Structure 1
C-alpha cells in the first residue's frame, strides 16, 4: 500500500512540476527547439490538447499549463486518501489544499533548478542543451539575489541564499500546515 501511495504521489508531483516548468519556460521565452524543452512539451502536450478541446476559448498555453498543474494538485490529496483509506470525499477545502500543493511543487522546482545550475557550474562547459535552459530559467532569480549579495572573493552566495530562503519557507509552511504539508 505504501509503495502505491509513493508511486502515485511521485507521478503526480512529476507532472505538476512538468506543467509548472512548461509555463515557466514559456514565461521566460526559453528556446523551444532545445531537446530538453521538446521533452517537456512532449510529456505535457496530450493533456494540454485535451484541455484545449474541452475549453474552446483561446487561452495562452502558459495559463493552461498552470491550470492543469492546479487541477492535478487539487485531485492529488483526494486520490491519495482514496488509495489509503478507501473513501472518496469531495470537499471545497481541497481547492485550498491544491493551492498549497502547487506552492510546494513550485518551491521544489525552483530548488531543483538552482541546485542543478550550481552543479552544472562546477562540471559543465555550458554547451549542453540543458545548460541553456537551466541558465535561462534561473538567471532572473540568481541575478536578483546577487544584486543584494554580490560576489565576494570569487564566491557567489546567491544560490546559497536562495536555498536558505526556500528551506525557511518550507519550514514555515510545515509549522503552519503540519499534517497537510507533510502529505503533499
Structure 2
C-alpha cells in the first residue's frame, strides 16, 4: 500500500470513527437524560442531526431509547468497514456480510466501553486536580457515568471519603473489553 493510500485509510478511519462516536454519545446522552442545554450536548446534536433526523422519521424510539441513533451507528460502522477494506484492495464480494456485521457490532460495543472508560478516567483525574470546579465537559461526563457509579456505590459505599466506584467500573469495563476481544 502506498503512502498516499495509507494516509487516506488513516484519515477515513479517524473521521468515520469520530462521527460514529458522536452518534453513540448522542444515544448515551439521551439514555441518561443528560442536560441538552450543555454546549457540548448542543454540538453533538448539531453534528449528528443531518443524518439522524431523517432516520428518526422512519425508526421511532422505544422506551426512552433512541433506536435510530443505534441503527445509524451500526450502518455507519458497516459502511466504514467496507470502505476501509475497499481502499486496501479487497473486493466487496470477498467480505461476507455476516462477518462485517459481527465486526461492526463488536467495534460499537468496544467504542461504548471506551467512552465510559475514558470518561471515568477524566473524572478521576479532574477530582484530584480541580475538585469542585464547574466545567461543561466534566458535568456531562458526570451525567453519563453517574447511573453506573451510583449502582456500584450501593454495593461498595465510599470508605473514609474515598469512592471506589470509579475504579470498580474501570475494572469491569477492562474485563468486558477483554471478553469482547476474545470473541
Where in structure 2 are the equivalents of 1:44-55 lying within 5 Å?
A: 44-52=48-56
Equivalent residue in structure 2 for 1:116, among 105, 112, 122 = 122
Unaligned runs of 5+ in 1: 177-184
Unaligned runs of 5+ in 2: none
1:36-56 CA-to-partner distances (Å, cap 9, x unmatched) read 11111111111113435xxx4
Residues of 2 paired with 1:155 and 1:88: CA distance? 53
| Distance apart, 1:158 and its partner CA | 1.5
Residue equivalent to 1:41: 45
Equivalent residue in structure 1 for 2:148, among 141, 149, 172 = 141
Residue equivalent to 1:96: 102
Residue equivalent to 1:171: 178
Residues of 2 paired with 1:109 and 1:44: CA distance? 17
Match of 1:85, SS state, is coil
Residues of 1 paired with 2:174 and 2:157: CA distance? 21
Residue equivalent to 2:91: 87
Equivalent residue in structure 2 for 1:68, among 72, 91, 98 = 72
Residues of 2 paired with 1:161 and 1:50: CA distance? 39
TM-score (norm 2): 0.84
Residue equivalent to 2:139: 132
| Distance apart, 1:148 and its partner CA | 2.1
Residues of 2 paired with 1:71 and 1:128: CA distance? 33
State the superposition RMSD in angstroms.
Answer: 2.0
